[in-house]
Amino acid sequence: MMNRKPKDFDDYITDFPEGTREKLILLRKAILDAAPVAEEVISYGMPAFKQNGMLVYFAGYEKYIGFYPTPSAILNFKSQLKNFKTAKGTVHFPLNEPLPFDLIKDMVKFRVEENLAKTKVKKVK
């Protein structure tokens, strides 16, 4: 909803309606609970988290929150995501429904492990 590049997460959520802001804050907390040492950044104009590479991104929209855990996570959690609209690397969480925190945390932990495995492979080469 922002037409400028935000400086940080707090700047990013400023222009959203209160209900959306609250969900974005809860999503941020769930991600940090699952990846407490992840670095929070703004990438492609969205809040994102890095740990041994990019983990996940998310963005607020008028009717949903877009969560971008990469195509591998979407594929790995396909059965748990069947009630949500998904695309190659995206899942839409409707604003009028509770966020699936356990699923979000599981996806973030999956991405942490995936990035760690890639880092170990790179060190071997």
pLDDT at position 118, please?
Answer: 84
Beta-carbon count within 10 A of 68 CB: 22
What are the φ/ψ torsions at residue 35 (nearest 5 degrees)?
-140, 70
Crossing angle between the packed helical segments 101-124 and 18-34, to the nearest 10 degrees: 40
Q: Given a cut of 90, is residue 1 above it in pLDDT?
A: no
Please state, rounded to an integer, the average pLDDT across all residues of the chain.
Answer: 92
When pLDDT is cut at 50, 70 and 90, the band that residue 112 belongs to is very high
What pLDDT score does 124 carry?
A: 56
Split at pLDDT 50, 70, 90, the class of 66 is very high
- Residue-wise pLDDT for 74-89, tens only, equals 999 999 999 999 999 9
Q: What is the pLDDT of residue 71?
A: 96
Please tell me the CATH code under which domain 9-124 is placed: 3.90.1150.200
**Average pLDDT rounded to a whole number, residues 90-109:** 97
Mean pLDDT of 63-76: 96
Instruction: Provide the 8-state DSSP code for 4.
Output: S
